[in-house]
Amino acid sequence: MKSIDRIKSAINFERTDRVPVFSHIFGFASRINHIPLKDYLNSGELLAFCQLEAWKRFGYDGVTAFADNSLEAEALGSKISYENDGYPHIYEYCLNNIHDWKYLSIPDPEKDGRMPVIIEACKILKDEVGEETAVVGTLQGPMTLAGQLLGLEKLIYCIVDHPEEFWNLLNFTARAMVIFGKALINAGAHVIHIFDPSSSCSVINRAVFSKYILPHLKQAFKEYKESGNPICWLNITGQTEPILDLFPETGADLFNIDYLVPISIAMEKLPNHCINGNIKPFSFISCETKDIRREARDLLEKTQFRKGFILSPGCEMPLESKISNIEAMIKAVKS
């Protein structure tokens, strides 16, 4: 069975030859290929090369066109810097106050910042893997991107101090997300993966999610479906238990569950939707192979009668992960 068919079957709760597995390997792909992370994040060719090599090495079910969380914000004018072969951080937000969102323009994915890097990587990945495995295009969700433009602390206060402008800014970031997502679909992405950790209940509550975030996610996934019918994947890391029941309203096909949410709760709240998760990411650094094997088997046992399940870490594979631990996770679905 091809990876792409395996994933589609899991999403449709159909029989598969084995449980699909995602690695959430992003920057880690540069480490195992001995490429400086900054180079990986700034070259579509290098990014695609490292993703393909990692995929061939471990044999999981997808490759990802994604650089880092500040890519879209940088394209909109936030200033970033790189240090110590880590991901870049924003040292100057492009918005001084929330009212200035109106002076921003929706970025052009073919021209602005490093967006063209990701578009190029996506095209190369699609050319190389064809319909063999899933090409995942990852982009920041509206709340997370808004936080990268204004600073999350300021943004949170704006929810109550300037709710209308908060809504307006989210409208803007959601539009930018839709345009970038459509460009990724045109570049060959099979899966559109919205990553929005700042929308979790670790940051905002159910009421704010329901009123401000949900409508934007719903609209975005609707437009993606109309633009090539990709698999739509929502990934809100952190605590999401209080909002899991709202997820189906987004229209996405697949939902990432972080390690903070017990998989049994996610299965109960999302009985008819495919979920993926949720090995604790830090375990890939600190634990031994036997621990990862046990954690993976435990998840596979709990989900064995469900069908709609994909094994994965709860969030990104940390840059310092042990290779043997990644192999142990993959082996769990193949043995």
User: From the CB of 204, what's the least distance to another protein, in Å?
Assistant: 5
Reading the block at residue 173, the tokens are 């970031």
> Counting contacts by CB under 8 A, is residue 103 touching another protein?
no
User: From the CB of 263, what's the least distance to another protein, in Å?
Assistant: 15
User: From the CB of 152, what's the least distance to another protein, in Å?
Assistant: 6
Single out the residue of 280, 292, 328, 332 in contact with another protein (rule: CB under 8 A). 280
* Residue 327 neighbours by CB distance under 10 Å: 16
Specify the pairing of strand 79-81 against strand 309-313. Answer: unpaired
Considering only residues 285 to 304 of the shown chain, the ones binding another protein according to CB under 8 A are: 285-286
Specify the pairing of strand 231-235 against strand 254-256. Answer: parallel
User: From the CB of 236, what's the least distance to another protein, in Å?
Assistant: 14
Single out the residue of 294, 318, 327, 331 in contact with another protein (rule: CB under 8 A). 318
User: From the CB of 272, what's the least distance to another protein, in Å?
Assistant: 24
Binding mask 148-177 for another protein (x = CB under 8 A): ----xx--xx-xxxxxxx------------
Considering only residues 248 to 267 of the shown chain, the ones binding another protein according to CB under 8 A are: 259-260
Single out the residue of 17, 34, 56, 84 in contact with another protein (rule: CB under 8 A). 84
Quick one: which H or E segment has residue 174? helix 163-186
| DSSP-based helix, strand, coil % in the chain, nearest 5 | 50, 10, 35
Residue 225 CA to residue 278 CA, distance in Å, equals 26
The site that binds another protein (CB under 8 A) totals a number of residues, namely 45
Considering only residues 176 to 235 of the shown chain, the ones binding another protein according to CB under 8 A are: 201-208, 210-211
Residue 260 CA to residue 147 CA, distance in Å, equals 22
Residue 137 CB partners (closer than 8 Å, separation 6+): 64, 65, 66, 118, 122, 181, 184, 185, 187, 189, 191, 192, 193, 230
Neighbour-count burial of 241, counting CB atoms closer than 10 A to its CB (0-12 exposed, 13-18 middle, 19+ buried): middle
Single out the residue of 281, 292, 310, 333 in contact with another protein (rule: CB under 8 A). 281
Binding site for another protein (CB under 8 A): 83-84, 86-87, 89-91, 97, 99, 152-153, 156-157, 159-165, 201-208, 210-211, 238-239, 241-242, 259-260, 280-283, 285-286, 318-320
